[in-house]
Structure 1
Amino acid sequence: MDEFMSRTPATKRRAAAALVLVAPLALAACSEDSAAGDDGPWEPDRDIEWIVPYSAGGGFDTYSRGIAEVMQGNHLPDGVNIVVRNTPPLPQGISSMFNADADGYTIGILPMPAAIAQQIQEPDLAQWETSEFTVLGQVDENGYVVYVPADSEYETIEDLIAADDIRAITVEQGSSSALAGLATIQALDLDAEVTYGAEGSAEVVTAALRGDADFFVYGSTDLVGFVESGDIRPLLYLGTEDQLPESFDWLDDVPTAEEAGFPDLAGAVTELRVIVAPPDLPEPVAEYLRGALADAMADEEFIAWAEEAGRPIVPRTAEETEAAIADQITQMEELVPQLSGS
């Protein structure tokens, strides 16, 4: 201070001018650091893109749109919307989530264990590392079911096991449904040929109903309407006892894999619908999005939507979801090579 006061008036004026110029620059730098999430709170000030790596109309798309509507309406700043973008095929969608800017304006719904299975099966195609996503939370845990058309000659899972030259249909290779189907075929020693490439659950059911497939394996929360309408019948539940959705009365009389004598198949492939952001998301940004997601999933409006849509909510915190993902990575590292050799 003494040195500044001892300067000439001209020198003082130059120093003061320099301070005037430096101050805005310093404030701008601080503002940029805050926006990047290095310190201080963060909240979005423009629309957020939500990536769904599947076509519109399926389970992942339905959950995404249900959460997005409640989240943008009740738990984001006014004027900030969530724009859902469907980006099939699966590798393209997952890659776009992983490689987006880590700024809080791109999130997505990640299918597990499909993400890690595709990474193991197609390492050159998979432009992501499953373990490196920034995890925000989980909305659903989906046990798989073996279904047949309602008029099928196969009344029980034992009938299906005893049959020759049966046909299955599913979506793309490496998807969670495809993995569950292959695990089922291997565990039950089914004489089955699989057709891949259906665009979603509705196309899988339609193909089976017109006679193009004898059975298919899909999630318990995906085809509720088709079961309740009497179009398809469940033969075997592949999840564990604690994964059985309490609200699905139609599963009450369906044997589990363990009850049918295949305990190793129970829970071997369980679909998790996980909400993620790109890697290295700044912690204040991640904290904000995790909170907004958790608040949306606990919102009475979303709970009412889930009940009306027949979509159970099985939420997990980010920490719990990270642990579940780590378990599935370990599980798939053992299972996928076995299925690939079958």
Structure 2
Amino acid sequence: MTTLPARLPACLMLAVLATPAVCLAAYPDRPINLIVPFPAGAGTDMTGRTIAQCMEKTMPGAQVVVMNRPGASGDIGLAALAAAAPDGYTLGIVNTPGVVSIPIERPAKYTLDSFDFIANLVDDPGTISVHADSPIHNIKDLVTAARARPDAVTVGTQGIGSAGHISALLLEQSAGITLSPVPFQGASPARTALLGKVIDSTMANMGEAITFQAGQPWRILGVMSDTRSQQSPDVPTFREAGFDILAGSMRGLAAPKGLPPPVLSTLSKAVEQCSTDAEFVDRAKKTFQPLRYLGRDEYVSNLRQVDTQLRALWKVKPWNR
């Protein structure tokens, strides 16, 4: 009878006692790539870097590498995420409305069913801003200018079907105006264009707009939320100006469909721990990211609701025309 050493490693013992034996390394055992479908420097990028840093803390031994894959309103990054191997080593930040609106507006390489959603992290309301030198001082001024010059007032967006583009359409629909959308790869390039007076106004999420405003000739006209933002309480809501508009962008974490259940569980627990981690919460606050943690089931339910709402909007006002 073969006598085994008392301290033989468990995996080797399996190999001795059972042939063949499979020894699985603990997850993660190599770097995790986190795709951010927008350029560095804007809100989505900040969310990606904030959660990456925290996940390295809540998953001991993990290394999370942020990879910016901007372009086509986030479509390039989302397509890359959907096409990746579902092994837990490629994750991505997904935004509303893009993850929902892009498959509605054009043939896409993914749908909501192409992803395993892990959790929502941020819910950032939309804003519209102008250069501080602009004669437009508030939302009513903007609407008046657009009515006087239909299709002439330019507004920066993050591309067709992006949060900024959908927000601009909602403003047009509510105010009875027509703006002239100018697509950019993300909020940061639109910021540069506004500060250079290349465009008249730009859409951005609240956290981005506050960041862009710091030390710059930047005026935020209004926020598309039901109440004023605690981050910038002087900025009125669109409702206060008479336009019932609620819009913005949720940012969550997802993976390609088909994650092994133990990997999905590990990731879900790590992100849930981050949601209450003091360092994570403090960093999000300092970088103007309004946190809204939603677990997997609630997050998916919310995304389905957004899908229903946008399909209804599409029937009335298709946004790719």
TM bracket, shorter-chain basis:
0.7 to 0.9
Correspondence for 2:290: 312
| Structure 2 residue 72 is the aligned partner of structure 1 residue 77 | no
Correspondence for 1:199: 185
Correspondence for 1:17: none
| Structure 2 residue 258 is the aligned partner of structure 1 residue 287 | no
Correspondence for 2:30: 46
Q: Give the aligned residue type for 1:308.
A: K
Correspondence for 1:15: none
Picking from 200, 204, 208, the partner of 1:218 is: 204
Correspondence for 1:87: 69
Alignment of 1:109-258 (within 5 A): 109-123=93-107, 126-163=108-145, 164=149, 165-196=152-183, 198-229=184-215, 231-241=217-227, 244-251=228-235, 254=236, 256-258=237-239
Picking from 304, 311, 316, the partner of 1:333 is: 311
- Alpha-carbon deviations, 1:242-265, whole Å to 9, x = none? xx43232333xx1x22222222x2
Picking from 240, 257, 260, the partner of 1:259 is: 240
Indicate how the Cα distance of structure 1 residues 44 and 144 shifts in structure 2: closer, same or farther if over 3 A, else same. same
Do the aligned residues in 1 keep the contact of 2:211 with 2:287 (CA within 8 Å)?
Answer: no
Correspondence for 1:56: 40
Do the aligned residues in 1 keep the contact of 2:157 with 2:181 (CA within 8 Å)?
Answer: yes
Gaps of 5+ in 1: 1-19, 36-41
Question: 1:132 Cα deviation (Å)?
Answer: 3.8
**Structure 1 counterpart SS, 2:33:** strand
Q: After superposing the two structures, state which structure 1 stretch, 48-57 or 158-167, moved more.
A: 158-167
Question: 1:45 Cα deviation (Å)?
Answer: 1.5
Question: 1:61 Cα deviation (Å)?
Answer: 0.8
| Structure 2 residue 21 is the aligned partner of structure 1 residue 23 | no
- Alpha-carbon deviations, 1:269-308, whole Å to 9, x = none? 3311010011121222111101011112321111221222
Correspondence for 1:96: 80
Query: Within 1, Cα distance between the matches of 2:258 and 2:169?
Result: 34
Query: Within 1, Cα distance between the matches of 2:106 and 2:95?
Result: 16
Q: Give the aligned residue type for 1:75.
A: T
- Alpha-carbon deviations, 1:216-254, whole Å to 9, x = none? 22111112123343522122221223xx43232333xx1
Query: Within 2, Cα distance between the matches of 1:21 and 1:140?
Result: 50
TM-align CA RMSD: 2.2
Q: Which runs of 4+ in 1 moved over 4 A?
A: none
Q: Give the aligned residue type for 1:166.
A: V
**Structure 2 counterpart SS, 1:177:** helix
**Structure 2 counterpart SS, 1:66:** helix
Query: Within 1, Cα distance between the matches of 2:48 and 2:234?
Result: 25
Query: Within 1, Cα distance between the matches of 2:169 and 2:270?
Result: 37
- Alpha-carbon deviations, 1:64-86, whole Å to 9, x = none? 111111211x21232x2001111
Gaps of 5+ in 2: 1-14
Correspondence for 1:16: none
Q: Is the radius of gyration larger for structure 1 or structure 2?
A: 1
Question: 1:22 Cα deviation (Å)?
Answer: 8.6
Q: Give the aligned residue type for 1:99.
A: A
Q: After superposing the two structures, state which structure 1 stretch, 286-295 or 164-173, moved more.
A: 164-173
Do the aligned residues in 2 keep the contact of 1:168 with 1:194 (CA within 8 Å)?
Answer: yes
Do the aligned residues in 2 keep the contact of 1:67 with 1:297 (CA within 8 Å)?
Answer: no
